[in-house]
Amino acid sequence: MTAKGKISENMVENKTKGRELQAYCPDCRRDREHVVVVSVDTYFSEDFNEYSGISAEDNYQVIKCRCGCLSFRHLNWFSEFQDQEASGYTEILYPPRKPDSLPVKKFQNVPTLISKIYEETIKTFNDGSYTLCAAGLRVIVEGICEVNGVKDGPVTRQQKDGSDKDCRSNRLEGKIYGLCEKDILTKKSADMLHEHRFLGNGAVHDLAEPGERELRIAIELIEHILEDIFVMPQKAETLKKIRLRAKIKSVDPA
Ligand SMILES: [Zn+2]
Give all domains of the chain, ordered by start, each with its CATH number.
Answer: 7-94 (no CATH), 112-242 (1.20.120)
Give me the pLDDT at residue 207, please: 60
Give me the pLDDT at residue 205, please: 58
Give me the pLDDT at residue 52, please: 87
Compute, in angstroms, the gap from residue 156 CA to the centroid of ligand 1.
Answer: 47
Compute, in angstroms, the gap from residue 210 CA to the centroid of ligand 1.
Answer: 30
Average pLDDT over residues 170-181: 88
Compute, in angstroms, the gap from residue 26 CA to the centroid of ligand 1.
Answer: 7
Amino acid identity, position 198? F
Is residue 103 predicted with pLDDT exceeding 90? no
Helix axis angle for 187-205 and 172-181, nearest 10°, is 160
| Long-range pairs for 152-157: beta carbons < 8 A, 24 or more residues apart | 152/178, 153/177, 153/178, 153/179, 153/180, 153/181, 154/178, 154/181
Asked if 196 contacts 222 with a C-beta cutoff of 8 angstroms, the reply is yes
Compute, in angstroms, the gap from residue 254 CA to the centroid of ligand 1.
Answer: 46
Compute, in angstroms, the gap from residue 71 CA to the centroid of ligand 1.
Answer: 10
Strand pairing report for 153-158 and 70-82: unpaired
Compute, in angstroms, the gap from residue 120 CA to the centroid of ligand 1.
Answer: 20
Average confidence score pLDDT of the chain: 86
Give me the pLDDT at residue 41, please: 97
Compute, in angstroms, the gap from residue 33 CA to the centroid of ligand 1.
Answer: 8
Amino acid identity, position 254? A
Q: Which of 90-94, 118-122, 248-252 has the lowest mean pLDDT?
A: 248-252
Compute, in angstroms, the gap from residue 74 CA to the centroid of ligand 1.
Answer: 18
Rounded-to-integer distance, Cα 142 and Cα 151, Å: 10
Give me the pLDDT at residue 174, please: 87
C-alpha to C-alpha distances, 39 to 8, 44, 58, 103, 120, nearest whole angstrom: 20, 17, 10, 26, 28
SS3 of 186, please? coil
Give me the pLDDT at residue 102, please: 87
Give me the pLDDT at residue 155, please: 85
Compute, in angstroms, the gap from residue 28 CA to the centroid of ligand 1.
Answer: 4
Task: Decide: residue 30, CB within 10 A, 0-12 exposed, 13-18 middle, 19+ buried.
Answer: exposed
Give me the pLDDT at residue 1, please: 47
Give the 3-state DSSP-derived string for 138-163, with helices as H, strands as E and coil as C. Answer: HHHHHHHHHHCCCCCEEEEEECCCCC
Compute, in angstroms, the gap from residue 65 CA to the centroid of ligand 1.
Answer: 5
Position 51 confidence tier, pLDDT thresholds 50, 70, 90: confident
User: Residues 128-166: pLDDT tens digits?
Assistant: 888 889 889 989 999 999 999 999 999 888 888 888 899
